[in-house]
Each structure stands twice: as C-alpha cells, then as structure tokens.
Chain A
Amino acid sequence: MVWRYALRRLAIAVPQLFGLLTATFFIVHLLPGDPARLIAGPLASAATIGEIRHRLGLDKPFFQQYLDYVKGLFTHLDLGPSSYTHEAVSSDLLQRFPATFELITLALLGIIVLSLTVGVVSVVFPTSRLGRALRPLAFVYSLVAGALPDFWIGLMLIYAFFFVLHILPAPAGQIDLTLLPPHPITGAQFVDGLLTANPDVIISGFLHLVLPVVTLAIVYGGPIFKVVVGSMTDVWGAEYLRFARACGLPPRTLIRYAVRSALPPVITLSATMYAFLLAGAVLVETVFAWGGVGQYAVQSIVNSDYFAIQGVVLLTGTFTLVVYLLVDLLQLWVDPRIQY
C-alpha cells in the first residue's frame, strides 16, 4: 500500500516538474524587455544586438524556442550560456550549489535540534533552572522571529562577533582568503576540506560557517520552533503519556514517546522551511560573500544575465518540488496514521 502511494506521488511529480519548466520559460520569456539588448549592453549597435539575438536563438519563433529549451534541458542539461561568467549556466550552478546546500542543510538541522532541545527542556522540565530561563526567551523569540530581516541579522552578528569580539572571521567567503582552496570534490569548501583531511581548511571553513548558519537559523527558525513547542506541549499532556507514567516507564522512555509522537507536524513544516531557506540563502550569501547559488542569483540579476536568471529560477523551483516529494514520502514512515 505504501508503495502504491509512493509511486502515485512520484508519478504526479513528473507533470509537476513539466509544469514548472513551462512556467519558468513563460515567466522569463513573456516579460517585456529585450534580453539580447540587456546582454549586449547600452552602447551596442543594432548589428551586435542582432548577432547576439541570433546566436542565442532568440530570433526563432516562440514555440520553437520552447522546444529547443526543453530539448536542451533533457538531452544535455543545457541551460544556456551565462553572459557574465561566460560559462554554461548549468556548470556554473553545479559548481555553486553544494555550498548553498551545505548552508541551508546545516541551518535546518540546527533549527530542528535547537527547537527540540528547547521544546523538551521547557515542557518536560519546566521547573528546572534552564526551563525557567528558557520560557521568557522562547516567548520573545516566537513573537519576534518572523519580523527579522535576514541580511540585517547577518550584519549585526558580523559586527558583534567579528568587529567587537574578534572571535569569528570577516565575511569573505567560505574559508580564509589567504588559504589555498582545497581540491574541489563537492564544491563546498568546508566539506572538501573534511574529505581531503586538510586541517587548516577544516578549521577555517568551520569558523566561516558559524555566522551564516546562525543567521539563517535565527531568522527562519520561528515557525518550526513554534510548532515544536506547541506539539510537545500538546503531546506531554496527552492521555497516552499519562498512561505511560502510570506504567512506571522511565523518564527517557517518556521523552522518547513524546518526541516521536510530536514529530509529524514538524516534518511537514521542515519541508516548507527548507524551501524558504533556499530563498533566504540569497541574501545571506550576499552578505557573507559565500559564493553559492544565492550570490550567483543576485549577480545574474544585477548583470541582466538572462539565461542564468532562468537557470536559477528553474533550479530553485525544482529543489522545492523534490523536497516536498521527499517529505511526503518521509511522512508515511513517521506517522502511521496517514491514510493512503
């Protein structure tokens, strides 16, 4: 039964992906503005513009362009050339995506771990010193979390920890500028440092990761935090927890029972937040000069890099779709009550 649902879900994903491709194409192509002119620049002659237009295939009929686009995508994953980096957009994205992925994944993990910890301590041990200290903090955070601009928080943290306290490095990339970058295996320099056992890169990479990950976690942690605490509160007072206590089950089993049954709504929300984090990465990467897809997105827009913009939009939309799919499947495993 599970498999049937999974297959059905995967089957739906295909037309969804197609819809996404088409939507991206339409959005980017139906807007006013001449991409060839944007690429050529304000001083170009009409001939140059025409040449560029021909080279990029922008003078072909609309539907032909669409077919070329789809064909290029499926045959060699071709997203067109970047007018700024002069590389293929697909290789640009491939190079930069791991760094972004590293950032948002660590941020999400951080949010979940921290929220669960705070949730368990404040609900299960409300009278402990830590529990009592956390309550007002949790209240304030719940209130304020949605109102924080990520780029601003990043800047504030930089000021506090780099300028004032001198304990974290300047926001200039993934590792220290004076260090030789590690051999690129994944593209995320900290991970590459781990994989090539390069201690300088590992330490530098770690230190450089702290602030951007913390920024993302603080700014985007609100919804998950609220759901975790709310879910834990509900579950801790539930009838089955009371029965478990009447059965003399030890505290760690009770906590295990509570956390496991509080998890399902958190998982669904994490999917949504993962997608949000990808959007949030744009600004944070810009502030910290991270060199990932986010910064590339900004760069391509500022430089009117037509195909790059299209590529970024497609990549982020696809990522979201894949995440939602995976989480739907994960939900089946985590919550046995789901009917299919």
Chain B
Amino acid sequence: MSEPVLTLKVIRTVFQSDDGPVPIVDNVSFALFPGEMFGIVGESGVGKTTLALSLLNLIRPPARVTGEVWYRGTELLSQPDHVWRRFLGDEISFIPSSGKAALNPVFTVGQQLIDMIRAHRPAGDREAYQTSVEMLSRVGLSDPDRRMRSYPHELSGGMAQRVAIAIALVNRPRVVIADEPTGGLDVTIQAQILDLMKELNTTLDYSTILISRDLGIIANYCARVGVMFRGRVIELGPLTQVYARPGHPYTEALLEAFSLRRERVLRSRQATSVALVEPPPHGCPYEPRCPYSTSRCVEEDPGPNALGPDQWARCHYAGRFRLAPDHG
C-alpha cells in the first residue's frame, strides 16, 4: 500500500446549540490514497457535508474543529487562514452540490475561472484564458470560447456543474472533495457528470472523496467506502467486501433499503432516521434502532473491530451480528 495523500485523525466538529455543544462530526479517522475514489455514504443530516466543510476550513466560530488533518507532511487544522488559502483551490479542491448556486451570478464563467487560476499563481491574460478554455473543453463543454463569456444563469444545471468541476480542477489539485456533486440533476446527466469525474480522476491523477446519499452512485464509482451514522464512520472497507458482507447492522439496513442485497433478512422494519431517539449515554449510538442489540451494546460503545486487513466496523459483533443472541 502506498503512502496516503490525506490522513484524518480523530476529527471532531462541535456546534453550539441551545442545549449545549453538539458534535456533528464525532471522531472520524481515515486515510485517502493516491489516485483512488473513496466514497462516504450516509443519510441526510449524518454529518457528511459538515465533514467536508471541516476539511476545507469553512467551519466558522463558534463551531470548532479538533483533530488532525495531515496532507503531505503538513498538519492543516492548526494552520492560520492564509496558509489554508495556499492549499485550497490549488492542492485541495471542492466540487459543490449545485454548480448554479456556487457560481457568482454577476461574473462570467471565464472571469471566475481566471480568478481561480490567478489566485494561486501569476498568469498572463493569454495564458490564463487558454488554460481556462482548455479546462472547459476537458469537462465536456462544447464551444468553450462562448462558455467563457456566459453568465451562470444562462447555463443549464448540468453545464453549470461542469463549470464548477472545471474551476475545481483547473489548478491540478491532488485531493478533490465532492459533496453530492449530482444532487438535483436528471439521472442521465448525473451519470454523465460522474463518468466525467471518474475519467478525470484517472487522467489527471488525483484522489477524490465522493460524498453521497446514494449507495448506487458509490457502488459504481468508488473502490473504497466509509459509512457514516450520527457523525461517525461506523464501517470502512473495500466496496465489494462491504456491500457483500456488511460488517455493521446499519450498513446492512442501508443496503437493504437500496435493494442492493438480494436477501431480506431484517426481522423488523425499523425506520433508520437519524435524529429521533437518544442513544444510551455510554453505549453504541445505533443501539436503539438495531435489531441485533444486546445488553453489551447498551453499556459499551464499540470501537473499530477489524474484519480483515482493510475493513473494520464499529460493532461488538462486527461481521457476525446475525449470529448474536438477542435479548429483547
């Protein structure tokens, strides 16, 4: 295994609420390897976008991010804003969920691309223009010169998303964080955008963290996946293994909901909505919903238990929960 390009250690993002501090991202650690597409999957509200924002220095006080983010030998979370600005847009990029919303409505596409280029290295007018046009062409936009002069409201959703991707990639970053990059687009356009992203991932040789609610998308494009529940990664491993033999009951429930498993073995249909029931204070956060929970699950919060050399799950009965005795 080669060296990871990005390593997250114990990332915690705490927001202030009326009832006190709430960890929206709770103890997340994983590594990202060169050239891979790593998927993060989970339902709405589970903390995926907050995790992305935490890695992009976009969490503002009074919310706080703790932990370590190692990128090529530098720990980023302890750096001041101006150091972050050197990395963001140049080595670590962001692809937003809506291209149209992410583009400034009073500037043309070309102006925004050129601003992105010039923010990170000096470039003459001609050079910046050329680079931008090439990038627009790379992301599959026809008539790129015309696109340079277009305003965001003149573009369709799919075109705007391609522009956002172009902006994110124009400075040849090494890590790209894509937060639900196809939300709101038609299914066929979704496929096109994701195919594009996969192709660029290979040809431009960077690593992608692909965040999505859709297990199908993750299944088609990612080699490794992390499953999030209530702010934590509760399972992580190679995609085929995780999908074939989920190590955590929640993963199983998700897969079942997406009908990606042929057998339906859950004995009770319980809603997997995240927020409603408070988990036991020292126990597993999934316990209230888990059909296989035992008294141990109520008392003890499981740490990551290995299921193989590169797969783990936060469950006392990782990989064998269906065999666990259940006590009511």
Select from chain A the residue with minimum beta-carbon distance to B94. A246
Does B94 lie within 8 Å of A247, measured CB to CB? Answer: yes
Closest chain B residue, CB of each to CB of A336: B151
On whether the beta carbons of A248 and B89 are closer than 8 Å, the reply is: yes
Residue pairs across A and B with CB atoms within 8 Å: the count is 74
Interface size class of B (residues with CB under 8 A): 20 to 34
- Chain A residue total in the interface (Cβ 8 A): 21
Contact B105 A243 (CB under 8 A): no
Q: List 19 A-B contacts (CB under 8 A).
A: A239-B101, A242-B58, A243-B164, A245-B56, A245-B57, A246-B93, A246-B94, A247-B93, A248-B87, A248-B90, A249-B115, A249-B119, A250-B119, A257-B107, A260-B106, A260-B107, A261-B106, A337-B151, A337-B153
Contact A253 B151 (CB under 8 A): no
Closest CB in chain A relative to B109 CB, distance in Å: 12
Q: Mark B109-121, 1 if CB is under 8 A from A, else 0.
A: 0000001100110
Residue of A nearest to B81 (CB): A251
Which A219-269 residues sit within 8 Å CB-CB of chain B? 239-240, 242-250, 253, 257, 260-261, 263-264
| Cβ contact within 8 Å between B105 and A247 | no
Q: At the interface, yes or no: A114 with Cβ under 8 Å from chain B?
A: no
Do residues B106 and A335 form an inter-chain contact, with CB atoms below 8 A? yes
A246-B107 contact, Cβ under 8 Å, with A253-B115, A337-B151: no
Would A249 and B116 be within 8 Å (CB), given that A243-B164, A336-B151 are in contact? yes
A interface list, Cβ under 8 A from B = 239-240, 242-250, 253, 257, 260-261, 263-264, 334-337
Q: With the chains together, A154 CA to B129 CA distance in Å? A: 53
A253→B118 CA distance, assembly (Å): 11
Q: Give the residues in chain B near A245, CB-CB below 8 Å.
A: 56-58, 88
Which residue on chain A has the smallest CB distance to residue B164?
A243
Which one, B57, B89, B168, contacts A249 given CB within 8 A? B89
Contact A239 B98 (CB under 8 A): yes
Interface centre among A240, A242, A264 (most CB of B within 10 A): A240
With beta carbons under 8 angstroms apart, the residue of A240, A248, A264 that contacts B88 is A248
Q: Nearest-CB distance from B174 to chain A (Å)?
A: 14
Q: Which of B88, B101, B107 contacts A247 (CB 8 A)?
A: B88
Does B123 touch A at the CB level, under 8 Å? no
* Residues of chain B lying within 8 A (CB to CB) of residue A250: 85, 119
B167 at interface (Cβ–Cβ under 8 A)? Answer: yes
**Cβ–Cβ contact A239 & B167, under 8 A:** no
Rounded to whole Å, the gap between the CB of B266 and the closest CB of chain A is: 38
Cβ-closest 10 pairs across A and B: A248-B88, A248-B89, A243-B102, A247-B89, A246-B94, A239-B101, A248-B85, A336-B151, A240-B104, A261-B106
* A246 contacts across to B, CB distance below 8 A: 56, 58, 88-89, 93-94, 96
